[in-house]
Structure 1
Amino acid sequence: MSHLCLSILFLLFVPMPFEATSQAIDTELTVLLELKRQLGNPSALAHWNSSSSPCDWPEINCTDNSVTEVHLRDKNITVGVPPTICGLKNLTYLDLYNNFIPGEFPTLYNCSKLEFLDLSQNYFVGPLPDEIDRLSTLVYLDISGNNFSGDIPPSIGRLPELSTLNIVQNQFKGTFPKEIGNLSKLEVLEMAYNEFVPMKIPPEFGQLTNLRYLWMTQTNLIGEMPESFNNLSNLEHLDLAINNLEGPIPSRLFSLKNLTRVYLFHNKLSGKIPKSVSALSLIEIDLSMNDLTGSIPEDFGKLQHLESLNLAYNQLTGELPTSISQLPALRDFRIFQNKLSGVLPSEFGLHSKLEGFEVSENQFSGQLPENLCAGGVLLGVIAYTNNLSGRIPESLGNCPTLRTIQLHNNKFSGELPQRLWTTFNLSTLLLTNNSFSGKLPSRLAWNMSRMEISNNKFSGEIPTGIASWSNLVVFQASNNLFSGKIPKEITSLSGLTTLLLDGNDFSGELPSEIISWRSLTTLDVSNNKLSGEIPVAFGSLPDLLDLDLSENQFSGKIPSEIGNLRLTSLNFSSNQLVGKIPKQLNNLAFETSFLQNSDLCADQPILKLPDCNSKLHQPDKLSTKCIAMIVALSLLASTIILLLSFFLVRDYRRKKHGQYLATWKLTSFQRLGFTKSNILSDLTENNHIGSGGSGKVYRIVVNRSGESVAVKKIWNSKEVDHKLEKEFLAEVEILSNIRHSNIVKLLCCISSEDSKLLVYEYMENQSLDRWLHGNKRSPIPGMNSVHHADAVLDWPRRLQIAVGAAQGLCYMHHECLVPIIHRDVKSSNILLDSEFNAKIADFGLAKMLSRHASAHSMSTVAGSFGYLAPEYAYTTKVNAKVDVYSFGVVLLELVTGREANSADENLNLAEWAWQQFSEDKPIVEILDPEVKEASYLEEMILVYKVGILCTHASPSNRPSMKEVSHILRNCYLPDGHAAKKVGSNFDVAPLLGRDTPYLSGYKHSEKGSAEDDNMINIV
């Protein structure tokens, strides 16, 4: 047959590729247009039409002119995924990340070639289907950030091609199967933040020999880590933090050659750290908050790439290997709260750019290493509660980056390096309980806010240059050798809250012009040689709570104005005071406040003081017996009448009071040290401290020690306001069942037919709103004038408040048996105790949700303008993200100093902040100038960015409170331990999962290593 005939036959019987391809794409076009219709025709897909090829649409990728990839992330999809999509026969890639898709796991079993499936950050509910193994071609599966629940089915272990499995942060409360260990190609396994039933890690997980990334933070793990983990030869990143693991660390874990990061903190691991450490690529090791014993392995000194070593909160003993101080990459070294001893190696700081050095609460002796700041980036030296001695190294005085020095409870001596007092960024200097000597400088570091030097041997006078210490908030200098007068210049420190000068040799009079001390809460000048009269101006200090002038030589009368103070402790004992004490102080709360002042008295004294009336001169005796008898008889008759009246009135009052008390019912939620009579008898205007939408608030002293409670009177009407009654019942129901250090404690409720009283712990520093914005408004009724609080509320304290409030909300949302949505989070509902610890308050609008529901319908909009999440405008369905939005506004208040409703004439604070953000304006320009300091800029910028993320218009684009709390806690650690360095490239990889729901708020890698996929930077 000729070539021509063969060609003709070929053309007749073989279909043309173009025609077949054209027909296939037409079919896929029909499928996609039907898919668009079933998805509700979202506006983001308006360009999907029949006049163009799907391969030209930005959401579609084609291979050989056939649809293989569909990218529908961030398309505002609010309906379920229809099976129609599997009409795309060559579909391999489906991305539905960050929408509002409800319902159960979608039916995609006819997508026979599907390799990549991302359903993360949606509203999916219910269990994973048992038949999930029908998706047998899957290589990548991400369902994180949903509400999937129940058990993980064993069938998930029958996905032979799977390399990435991400189920982070769902509502799984059942079990996970050992069959996951059968996924031989698995490289990334992420299961963090799920409340599984307490489970051991299956030994079968040790079969995952291709595993590079394992993340199981806070998944309720128990038992020992399986020894089979020694087989994970490709493991790079291991995070099993915040669980209940116990027993030893697998013997060869630190010998896995590819291992770079190990996070095992906050478990119950015991035994010794494995001595053999040959994973020379290790960058970060965190074994803190366990029960590890023994010594630190010498092999740690071989880890030339190690940047961070955290072994804090363990039971480690022995000396530090010298080789650790020679590591060239080490920047963060934390071994506090162990039982380590010996001398600190002298080479720390010489071989690496050390940023954090925390060795407190051990048994170290000898001197501090001389060259800690040789790298020029040291932020803190925290070495308190050891046996360290000698002088502070001179080199620390030449360290401009230094923010905090905490050396209290040691045996240091000698004078401080002169330049240390003025180190540029130093804000905290804690030297109490040592033997330091020398005099105070006239100039101090511009940023110094906290200086505690009590129980040392400092001497001389307080310099008049103290007026330049303008940012000082706490000054504790008790029990030193100071002498001379207390200079009047000290009264110019307007931000001062605590001043302790007791146990010195001061003499002369106290400064009388103290008007600038508007922030002072504690003043103790006891046990000195001070004399003169007590300044009348003390009575005008609005926040003074603790006043101790005892063991001095004060004379004259106690100013009556002092009676107007709301003091919790007072001591004027052992002076030379005379006259009548203020009537408000004639109270058992001050029973020991006036001892050894022989010429003090009181009107009708309750305290052990003479009656002032008994000291008055009596009239001259009359000379005639007649007048004497008349007077005697008159007195006798008057006495009889008074006694009869007294008993009649007493019996009537007792009866009346008993009837009155009987109408009230006390329901206790805590162990109480008072009765309902204590509360009811003091509900007077003198104790009224504020008012709110649901009634008045009183402060009532309930015992002799001066302990106070706050009482909210909900209503007082014969016709009960049912809305207020509903608020009352909601608040009692919630607060009586939860216990958390960052949620205000409800002690009891007292109710009658027409009034309801809620009795709380008293919060000395009242509301955050008052401190941030009180100076911008009229005083709150019943309160003293509000001072300029920003001078007191410095950035470390603001950050402390943000962390505390976040922890309270996180507990409500994620840790309560029944989740709680507050619905009215705002700065006026964040209360502050005497140490400025934040507590969430006012649950009158809160609702309790079932964990099985993603949202709850509200009949009416609740909350406060400026804090309301935008979804209130178009739906009555809300979830915990409304609280996240409101808390974001609070964070913006903290960093900008602006009020929620007054950022701009036409915009509230959240809208204004987003406008600044979208216009890419320099963040530093919008930070609160009152606290905007160079040493805190990175932390402030981070918190601002978290506020931006929290106030995203779309609920699914906001982080959870668990994520917010983790970020803020990583920025701030209590007890003086410095946090890791944060900033524009803050690494939240240990805290958040890949592709968390933040649009332009985050950068994340869509391709690359598993570690890159979990690296999320705030931008």
Structure 2
Amino acid sequence: MAKNYYASFFLFFTVLISIMPKSYQQSTDQYSDEHQILLGLERYWGSSPVLGRWNSTSSDYCSWGGVTCMNGMVTAISLANQNFSKSIPTSLCLLKNLNYLDLSYNNFSTSFPTILYNCSKLMYLDLSNNVFAGHLPADINSLSASLSTNHITGRIPTSIGWFPRLKSLQLDANQFDGSNPSKGISNLTNLEVLTLAENPFRPAPVPVEFGKLTRLTYLWLSGMNMTGEIPESLSSLTELTLLSMSNNKLNGTILTWIWQHKKLQYFVTALNLMELDVSSNKLTGAIPDDFGKLVNLTMLFLYKNQLHGSIPPSIGLLPNLIDIRLFDNLLSGSLLPELGKHSALGNIEVPNNNLSGELPDYLCSNRKLYDIVVFNNRFSGKLPKSLDGCYLLENLMLYNNIFTGEFPKSLWSVVTNRLSVVMIQNNNFSGTFPTHLPWNFTRLDIRNNRFSGPIPTLAGKMKVFQAANNLLSGEIPWDLTGTSQVVELDLSRNQITGSIPMTIGVLKLNTLNLSGNKISGNIPAAFGFMSVLTILDLSSNALSGEIPKEINKLRLNFLNLSMNHLSGEIPTSLQNGAYEESFFFNPGLCVSPNNSIRNLPICRVRSNIGDDTSRRLITLFSAVASIMVAGLALTKFHALHFTDYDVLSGLSEQNCVGSGRSGKVYRICAVDGADGNRILAVKKIWNGQNLAENLEKDFLAEVRILGEIRHTNIVKLLCCISSSEAKLLVYEYMENGSLDQWLHQRDRIVAPAPLDWLKRLQIAIDLARGLCYMHHDCSPAIVHRDVKSANILLDAEFRAKIADFGLARILVKAGDLKSVSAIGGTFGYMPPEYGYQRKGNEKVDVYSFGVVLLELTTGRVANGGGAEYCLAEWAWRQYQEYGLSIDLLDEDIRDPAYIEDAFTVFTLGVICTGGQPSLRPSMKDVLYALLRFEHKYRERGQQDTVSEETSLLES
């Protein structure tokens, strides 16, 4: 017995050993085959975000992205969003164990890929969001398929019902145009998800057969041309969590079968349903109070029907309600008194009804509310206190009601950084605004209320600001241009005074209405830069002076300048019948002969002789002489630890780093007891041989004044060493030289990279701060008169400081006309008034600053072509002829993220270089206009590059 046992065991063991190598070899071959199949897919479809990481040298393909294995065999492939366009290859089905395939969100454009029938074990297929076209094959009966969002046409074949184990069928958003496939689909008794929405089926009633699909949890039948009432047969769908039949032609009342508790299963339905959408139909009757039994309901969409009566209070008690939309019905009565108290309510939309009373006190008590949309009702009273601190609120639309009281100040707070749309027009709100509106605001409409106080600075994302017919007062702020994105601005019928700021020209408005105020002064020439402006209303104000000819460039669809004090000839482009009613009640206005405007006087003929001459620029001359320094006197403006000898010993030719019309500049190293070795910049100024004795005193007096200036954006003058023959000015040394070198002489300096946009913008802001200090904070004001890129020095961090200021005013006292011309400025930076007057106010510096802005944005030199070329005139002509073109900008700053900002700074430069000094903005105005970028970039997290300072006149 034992012998036979061992013999049998030995025979079994021998057979087992004999077959093991063969089985092992087959398994190894299959692994190798699947590896090669996957590599073949990578070669066929090409590189993609996932396939690009497949490693041909690694045999562990089960760890590759998008691949899932079981027992070493590929069972699932997920390659969504790979931009595939080639057809699905037959080799895919050589993966014998593949049961899951997701190729959604690609660019397949063939007919349905029948080759997938060869994938014998495939149970789940997602081909949604592609461009598959044509008809579905009649034998598609063995796949759990998602084909939503394609271009499939024709009928859904009845063979779809031949596979009763199917659990998910998603055919929404195609072009099926036959009758809805109720007979085939109704056999899929295991179906849990069914989506047929957004297909142009022929009009037909809701399929009663769908009542057989008792395991459905998700039923989406929107936009299918369904008609009639919702059938009673659907009462058997007790597992539904989502039911959507929106955008059909259904009539009758709302789903009364849900609450007909003939059987327990109906109550189960009430417990399960989470999302109900029967919007955009023709449903009538009242909203049943039994909605309060849907305790799991999170979303209730009944909008765009013909429902009437009041909203059942039980809906306000639902513990999970997040989103309720009942707009465009005939509902009346008050809003649910406890709405928002029992659930984390996020959205409420009830506009276009007949609702009244106050908004519920608890509306935002859970601090989750993000939308309140209740316009076109008869709500009244004050806003609920729960809105104070409702910081997630994004949209607030309360217009056309009867609300009263002060608007919650917390909603204007910068902390409320999500609020973007506020439309509260046509109520009776009162209150004031903060100085600056929140950055995220895109639309603010407060028309026809009782808001008062000054106009706020607009936010960086603001598109529309409408504030007509309120009690706003004061002047239009210069930093109203704190946003460059406003396209519509309406401040009409308020109590606004003052003049229109010049900086309004940098806005890209298409609509501007300032009518019905008390605005005075001239119409700024900067309107000529508002190239997209189509509607302009400045009527019923106290504007005076001429209409600027720059308005000729605008293409206005509507213009109203009536009821002002304007005078002079109307610009030629406006002298046509289209604007015939635009100039009433301006007695000083006139037109040229043979125009098409009636009832206006003809202008007197006046000579234009001398106009060209008045704009000629003076020629600059310079004369230098080399002399020895003797009879020295040292004047200190700061505590110093080096001596005049330290300075003089460094005045050797090998230390000379530059020369100009008034002398040379030296870079010397002096021993400073406090700081060790200190690098200094020494400017040696040569005087003429016949200087008057009074010049010495004047020179020292002026230098002492300049030595007292303390500002971070003005080069620090450390001391002055003077003699009868020469003057030495000793400054702090600026490591990165001049702006001129970085913009125009990069081949002469060691510059690893050109100045990027953020550095250029910071330089402009630094320069504006320095000039603003000189013009507005010094008494008497200091006018530089030679602002140019060569006189803007950059420290190690590329922060800009003004140098060589005041020198022209000092030396001009010699009385030498050549010196007057030579030191009055630099060609290309001098304003046109230098051609007909010697004295200029601070607007001289504004013009020169504008030229620097043009240099920063275009990269062009101010005077590269001598008398034949002037950058300011070139920029003006380019803007007039071609508008804001990318070709205007320096190639080094054409980053798409900053192009619009560069265009705005270019436009500001053109405004600053306007021909009439009185129409140029002040440096304070210019600084306001530039500082908006600081806040904008700080919001982007770029404060390391752009200054964090927010004070307009810091230090």
State TM-score, norm by structure 2.
0.56
Q: Kindly indicate whether the alpha-carbon contact (under 8 Å) linking 1:600 and 1:609 is maintained by their aligned counterparts in 2.
A: no
Quick check: 1:393–1:417 contact (8 Å CA) kept in 2? no
Partner of 2:238: 257
1:365 aligns with 2:364: no
Counterparts of 1:783 and 1:530, CA distance in 2: 29
**Aligned counterparts of 1:898 and 1:564: Cα–Cα separation in 2:** 22
Alignment partner of 1:454 is 2:438:
no
Deviations 1:249-306 (A, max 9, x none): 3435476332212333444444332023342122222333333333333332222222
Between the aligned partners of 1:438 and 1:55, the Cα distance in structure 2 is 65
Aligned match of 2:562: 573
* Contact 1:327 1:352 (8 Å CA) reproduced: yes
1:185: which partner in 2? 165
In 1, Cα distance between equivalents of 2:5 and 2:154: 67
Taking a change above 3 Å as real, the CA distance of residues 69 and 108 of structure 1, as seen in their structure-2 partners, is closer
* Structure 1 match to 2:791: none
Residue deviations 1:285-332, cap 9 Å, x none?
A: 233333333333333222222222223333332221111111111122
Query: d(CA) in 2 for partners of 1:894 and 1:312?
Result: 43
Per the alignment, residue 339 of structure 2 pairs with 348
1:365, CA displacement in angstroms?
1.3
The secondary structure found in structure 2 opposite 1:405 is strand
Shift of 1:509: 4.4
Partners of 2:505 and 2:528 within 8 A in 1: no
Answer yes or no: is 1:273 the counterpart of 2:254: yes
Tell me which of 374, 394, 413 is aligned to 2:404: 413
- 1:871-910 pair list within 5 angstroms: none
Residue in 2 that maps onto 1:385: 376
Distance 1:260 1:254, change over 3 A: farther
Structure 1 residues 605 and 226, CA gap change in structure 2 (3 angstroms): same
The match for 1:319 among 285, 290, 310 is 310
SS in 1 for 2:152: coil
Q: CA deviation at 1:384?
A: 0.8
Change (3 A) 1:484 1:351: closer
Contact (CA 8 Å) 1:252, 1:276: kept in 2 or not?
A: no
Aligned pair partner of 1:202 in 160, 172, 182: 182
Find out whether 1:155 has 2:139 as its counterpart.
yes
What's the offset of the Cα at 1:586? 1.5
Q: Could you tell me whether the CA contact under 8 Å between 2:76 and 2:98 is conserved in 1?
A: no
Q: Measure how far apart 1:532 and its partner are.
A: 5.1
1:666-681 alignment runs, 5 A limit: none
CA root-mean-square deviation:
4.8
Q: Which of 454, 462, 465 is residue 475 of structure 1 equivalent to? A: 465
CA distance in 1: counterparts of 2:559 and 2:83, whole angstroms: 60
- 1:4 — aligned with what? 3
> Distance in 1 between the 2:193 and 2:208 partners?
18
Structure 2 letter corresponding to 1:167: L
Which shows bigger deviation, 570-579 or 401-410? 570-579
Please, which of 428, 432, 449 is the counterpart of residue 435 of structure 1? 428
Q: Please list every run of 5 or more consecutive structure 1 residues that lacks an aligned counterpart in the other structure.
A: 75-95, 618-773, 789-826, 829-865, 868-888, 900-926, 936-1019
Which residue number in structure 2 is paired with residue 225 of structure 1? Answer: 206
Q: Is the 8 A contact 2:520 2:541 kept in 1?
A: yes
CA displacement, residues 670-725 of structure 1 (integer Å, 9 cap, x when unaligned): xxxxxxxxxxxxxxxxxxxxxxxxxxxxxxxxxxxxxxxxxxxxxxxxxxxxxxxx
Question: Does the alignment pair 1:499 with 2:489?
Answer: yes
The answer to whether the 8 A contact 2:517-2:540 is kept is: yes
| TM alignment of 1:480-559, pairs within 5 A | 480=470, 482=471, 485-488=474-477, 491=480, 493-495=482-484, 496-504=486-494, 506=495, 508-515=497-504, 518-531=507-520, 533-541=522-530, 543-559=532-548
Does the CA contact (< 8 Å) of 1:239 and 1:263 recur in 2? Answer: yes
* Aligned pairs (5 A) from 1:583-982: 583-609=572-598, 782-783=878-879, 930=936
Preserved CA contact (<8 Å) 2:146 2:170: yes
Q: 2:6, 2:857 → 1: CA distance?
A: 91
Asked if structure 2 preserves the Cα contact closer than 8 Å seen for 1:131 and 1:155, the reply is: no
In 1, the alpha carbon distance for the partners of 2:314 and 2:292 equals: 5
Q: Distance in 1 between matches of 2:183 and 2:112?
A: 23
Deviation readout 1:959-979 (Å, 9 max, x if unpaired): xxxxxxxxxxxxxxxxxxxxx
**What aligned pairs does 1:65-144 form with structure 2 within 5 A after superposition?**
69=74, 102-103=86-87, 106=90, 116-118=99-101, 120-121=103-104, 127=111, 139-144=123-128
SS of corresponding position for 1:561: helix
Equivalent pairs: percent with the same residue? 33
**Alignment match of 1:334 (pick from 312, 325, 337):** 325
TM-score (normalised: structure 1): 0.53
Provide the rounded CA distance (Å) in 2 between the counterparts of 1:294 and 1:175.
35
Which residue number corresponds to residue 310 of structure 1? 301
Contact 1:581 1:601 in 2 (8 A): yes
SS in 2 for 1:342: strand
Give the distance between the partners of 1:775 and 1:262, measured in 2 at CA. 60
CA distance in 2, matches of 1:124, 1:330: 40
1:295 and 1:317 in contact (8 A); partners too: yes
Per-residue deviation, 1:146: 5.7
**Shift of residue 402 of structure 1?**
2.2
Match of residue 290 from structure 1: 281
- One of 247, 253, 270 as aligned partner of 2:228: 247
The alpha carbon displacement at 1:352 in A equals 1.0
Question: What's the CA shift string for 1:895-943, capped at 9, x where partnerless?
Answer: 99999xxxxxxxxxxxxxxxxxxxxxxxxxxx998388699xxxxxxxx
The superposition leaves residues 780-821 of structure 1 with CA deviations (integer Å, 9 ceiling, x where unpaired) of 985469999xxxxxxxxxxxxxxxxxxxxxxxxxxxxxxxxx
Structure 1 or 2, whichever has the larger Rg, is 2
Decide whether aligned partners of structure 1 residues 174 and 369 sit closer, same or farther in structure 2, where only a CA change above 3 A counts.
same
Shift of 1:100: 5.4
Q: Distance in 1 between matches of 2:529 and 2:26?
A: 83
Alignment partner, residue 23 of structure 1: 22
Secondary structure, counterpart of 1:154 in structure 2: coil
The answer to whether the Cα contact below 8 Å between 1:518 and 1:543 also exists between their aligned partners in 2 is: no
Residues 100 and 408 (structure 1), Cα distance of their counterparts in 2 relative to 1, 3 Å cut: closer
| Alpha-carbon spacing, 1:209–1:931, altered in 2? closer, same or farther (3 Å) | farther
Whether the aligned pair in 2 keeps the contact of 1:150 and 1:175 (CA below 8 Å) is no
Q: Paired residue for 2:156?
A: 176
SS in 1 for 2:355: strand
Kindly state the Cα deviation for residue 776 of structure 1 after the two structures are TM-superposed.
6.4
Picking from 541, 550, 560, the partner of 1:561 is 550
- Letter of the 2:139 counterpart: S
Return closer, same or farther for 1:933/1:386 CA change in 2, 3 Å cut-off.
farther
Q: 1:360-392: CA deviations, max 9, x gaps? A: 222211111111110012112111111212222
CA-to-aligned-CA distance 1:129-186 (integer Å, 9 cap, x gap)? 88987877654444546665433333333x4xx6x33334444223222232332222
Please list the CA deviations of residues 589-632 of structure 1 after superposition, one character each: whole Å capped at 9, or x if unmatched. 32321234344221134332467657569xxxxxxxxxxxxxxx
- Aligned equivalents of 2:544 and 2:257: distance in 1? 72
Deviation for aligned residue 1:492: 5.4
Q: Aligned letter for 1:165?
A: A
Change (3 A) 1:22 1:613: same
**For 1:564 and 1:213, how far apart are their aligned partners in 2?**
61
**Alpha carbons of structure 1 residues 556 and 145: separation in structure 2 relative to 1, 3 Å:** closer
Residue aligned with 1:271, SS: coil
